[in-house]
Amino acid sequence: MIYLLALIPAIDWGAMPLITGKIGGSPVNQMFGIGAGASIVGIIAYLITKPTVSVTAFWFSLAIGCLWTIGQVGQFISFKHMGVSNTMPLSSAFVLVMTSFVGIFFFDEWQGARALSIGLTACVVVIIGAVLTSISDGTSDKKVSTKWVLFLLVTTIGYCAYSIFPKMPQVAHESSQGIFLPEVLGILLGSVIYTICSGNAKAFKQKEQYLNTLGGLSWGIGNFAYVFVGKALGVVTASIFGQMNVIISTFGGILLLHETKTKREMIYTVVGIILIVIGSILTVIAN
């Protein structure tokens, strides 16, 4: 049963960009929808589990949720220019490599020659996979360019901060359920700040602003399920299952959002995805 639960994060995280892609709207609409939907899940989860959280951890988690918004906004904007099927493999690779190196330099992970060699090999495999998925014949209006790859890379810093924050001393001893609500409230706050500061306050009157809540519900359910999977199977196994979201989002973008790829691009994409999955598994083995 727990292994079926472990599939929920991969399915829901992979489905989120497909849902928002189908609904449409601007990155502002999509970002607010994620924040709103995730907050609904967070409030329901809080009322059911009634966890405790310290004041310091609450505000720290709220701030990290705001930082996550940077990564998600970067992803949504990249969807518009490169497509879901091109963006998601690159995004997953960037997050994996960034968090791995942060783990090495700040949290003393991959200790020993064996762990370090496996981990660095994994990073190389992931990078090669990401490069393969980005190969384009230039036949689509949504193609990978250096400009948007660099943009995605820089904004991924927000995802990286979110990924490593449970290990930070401010929240290390808090329950996962306790910090979940302030996390998602931080995402909602970040999305509101982004909406206003980008000069798009009129978006609050657009229906897409609220329809995209469906994507937020999907992401929030997946994230909350991950809390229990991590406790039951361990973070390593949970991470392997979670990384499978790239398969769903990439091929879903091609099949459901009708993002076209030539035969050559498709071959490179399939091989690239396989390498990213292998690299993900190697990364957690190194830990």
DSSP annotation string for 129-191: HHHHHT---S-SSS---HHHHHHHHHHHHHHHHHHHGGGSTTTTTS-HHHHHHHHHHHHHHHH
Check residue 210 and give its pLDDT.
Answer: 95
In a structure prediction context, what are the per-residue pLDDT tens digits for the chain, which is 287 residues long? 777 888 898 899 999 999 999 999 999 999 999 999 999 999 999 999 999 999 999 999 999 999 999 999 999 999 999 999 899 999 988 988 888 888 777 777 778 888 889 888 988 998 999 889 888 876 666 778 889 999 999 999 988 887 777 777 888 788 888 999 999 999 999 999 999 999 999 999 999 999 999 999 999 999 888 877 776 766 666 677 777 888 899 999 999 998 888 899 999 999 999 999 898 888 777 76
Contact between 74 and 149 under an 8 Å Cβ cutoff? The reply is no
- Which pTM does this prediction carry? 0.88
